[in-house]
Structure 1
Amino acid sequence: MDFSLELEKIGHFITEKLAGKDAVLGISGGVDSALVLSILARVLPKERIRAFFMPDSNTPETDLDDVKKLSESTKIEIKIINIESVVEAFRSLLSIEDRYAMGNVKSRTRMIILYYFANINNGLVIGTTNRTEHLIGYYTKFGDGACDIEPIMHLYKQEVWDFATFMKVPDNIIRKKPSAGLWEGQTDEDEIGMTYSDLDKVLEDVFDLNLKSLTDKHKKVEELHERSEHKRKLPEFIKAGENKDR
């Protein structure tokens, strides 16, 4: 992949879709959001970029360190908003014990904050989902999956890592194990049950080469895709004029 051309293509996409509006972005400390911020810093005036890091009690201190390094490397201010009090309010109000449900609450809390800032600043929320995560539905519906434009959704995870290296994203961010930070010690690959390297290869087989059900890994990925189809579709509805008496 020619990353110079890729940067130009994504930059054009972003500026066209924003149409002069501000870019509002959530920063996690991971490589996907770091790459997107690095791209935004190249293609937009700094005053139009509004970046937010929203930690909670399970967020590792190393993520905060990495976010500070990212801010320095991009020369973009990243505002820190601790969401722990909001998360705890939900936990108490709803007596939440299931950690997956709690993880979704955290993700949707961050979405609310991003859309608040988009609302008051006439901005659009920029997504950070890559193709790998999109195809298996590895994101929270109406959480980190909620945004106005998705500039890296056409890139597999390995391509994100390679592009991030080209964009000089801080090494610590590129090398760290991917994690959604939903609970202490959580990693993407453990939760998915497959390395991103294997996952990318299987996804390419299934969706780019139409090679299906070759191995147990292929069947697992096909099942993940099928189970998460509702995340990639608009809500179901009755079409106007459908089933009318004639």
Structure 2
Amino acid sequence: MIIIDELNKDTEKNTFKIRTFIKRKVQDFKKKGVVVGVSGGIDSAVILTLAVQALGNENVYGLLLPEEESATISTELGARLCESLNVSYEKVPITPILQSLDIYGEKDRIIKKTCPEYDPDIHKTSLVLPALLNNDMLNIPSIRLVKDGEIIAENRLKAKDYLELIGIQNVKQRSRMLIQYLYAEKNNYIVCGTTNKTELILGQFVKYGDGGVDIEPLADCYKTQVYALADLLGVDREIIERPPSPDTWSHYTSDEDFYWRMPIQIMDQLLYSQEYALPIEMIEENTELSEEAIDKAKKHIDRVRSAANYSVSPPAICYLDK
């Protein structure tokens, strides 16, 4: 078995199922259409395209939600996509919301503790983890300082500072969802999410942020399958070839640098092999990894999946005796 071929064998059938799902759910909720947060990335591009095919462009609304640290190209690609599909859209910067909460100031103060040389006027920053398959380094996140495109420092974060930074960064995703529901409710639309199966399994989304939506059409599609959908749908090659990222750090940080810690093709094959309990020999042949490396990667995945239980769980309810 070739795992990648198995993942991508039903791409045309998947497009039909996703379009049908979107149309049916809009009808079930008795709404008129969908709002999509358009990030300039591949997931939202696929969702926007399928939503237009399912509902017509007049029933789809795109929102570009940049902030101070977003890459300029993200907005440009998102706008180009909306225009190519003849979708009405609006750019609503969330920077004022973040400034009112002093998100940038708090972030700068934490980074300054870790990197005393940090100057927000000249340095861009990103949060990274060591590549999982290439070394035996500990699972310790670091702040990377970049100046004029070159990495000039990479310092490890203390656990407390890391948690605070994550909390601060997550406000960005939650602010975006605030805006999406504002537009959805005033237009009698639903909010359509863009989280794929890889992200869902690994908890690679923010609770009540990009995870707080009405429908998740891609939640049963591994990231590798999303790329196949994008190819079939003719999505802009610049979007397809762009490294995926949450785009919440001033230095564009790919998901491979932090979330996956390995190429996405390897991650998806490992997740697929766990889902279908494939034998180790088949995994070795497909991934070209040693049994030791596969075991190490699976332990990492198990840790991440366990931590993700919080993100996917609904609110705990205290039931009273009747």
C-alpha separation in 1, matches of 2:103 and 2:70 = 20
Asked if 2 retains the 8 angstrom alpha-carbon contact of 1:73 and 1:169, the reply is no
Alpha-carbon RMSD: 2.1
Q: Which of 195, 220, 235 is matched with 2:300 structurally? A: 220
Indicate yes or no: 2:44 matched with 1:11: no
CA shift in 2, pair 1:66/1:189, >3 Å: same
CA shift in 2, pair 1:92/1:141, >3 Å: closer
| Structure with the largest fraction of strand | 2
Alpha-carbon deviations, 1:126-179, whole Å to 9, x = none?
010000000000011110001001101100001101110111110000000111
C-alpha separation in 2, matches of 1:188 and 1:11 = 27
Tell me the equivalent position of 1:171. Answer: 237
Q: Which of 232, 251, 255 is matched with 1:188 structurally? A: 255
Aligned residues: 242
Percentage of identical aligned residues: 29
CA shift, 1:91, in A, is: 1.8
C-alpha separation in 2, matches of 1:153 and 1:27 = 17
Rg larger for: 2
Indicate yes or no: 2:34 matched with 1:23: yes
* 3-state SS, counterpart of residue 101 of structure 2: helix
Asked if 1 retains the 8 angstrom alpha-carbon contact of 2:224 and 2:268, the reply is yes
* 3-state SS, counterpart of residue 34 of structure 2: strand
TM-score, length of structure 1 as denominator length: 0.91
CA shift, 1:100, in A, is: 2.1
Indicate yes or no: 2:50 matched with 1:39: yes
Asked if 2 retains the 8 angstrom alpha-carbon contact of 1:24 and 1:125, the reply is yes
CA shift in 2, pair 1:93/1:73, >3 Å: closer
C-alpha separation in 2, matches of 1:92 and 1:62 = 23
CA shift, 1:182, in A, is: 1.3
| Aligned amino acid, residue 145 of structure 1 | G
Indicate yes or no: 2:186 matched with 1:120: yes
| Aligned amino acid, residue 46 of structure 1 | N
| Aligned amino acid, residue 84 of structure 2 | S
CA shift, 1:93, in A, is: 10
* Residue segments in structure 1 that go unaligned for 5+ positions in a row: none
CA shift, 1:221, in A, is: 0.4
CA shift in 2, pair 1:39/1:93, >3 Å: closer
Indicate yes or no: 2:214 matched with 1:206: no
CA shift in 2, pair 1:207/1:239, >3 Å: farther
- 1:136-155 equivalences in 2 (<5 Å): 136-155=202-221
C-alpha separation in 1, matches of 2:267 and 2:197 = 11
CA shift, 1:210, in A, is: 6.7
CA shift, 1:238, in A, is: 2.7
CA shift in 2, pair 1:140/1:172, >3 Å: same
Tell me the equivalent position of 1:133. Answer: 199
Alpha-carbon deviations, 1:191-224, whole Å to 9, x = none?
1222211111111122232779951000000110
* 3-state SS, counterpart of residue 185 of structure 2: helix
CA shift, 1:4, in A, is: 2.8
Asked if 2 retains the 8 angstrom alpha-carbon contact of 1:111 and 1:143, the reply is yes
CA shift in 2, pair 1:127/1:92, >3 Å: closer
- 1:53-132 equivalences in 2 (<5 Å): 53-91=64-102, 95=106, 97=110, 98-132=164-198
CA shift in 2, pair 1:211/1:112, >3 Å: farther
C-alpha separation in 2, matches of 1:84 and 1:122 = 26
CA shift in 2, pair 1:9/1:224, >3 Å: same
* 3-state SS, counterpart of residue 84 of structure 2: helix
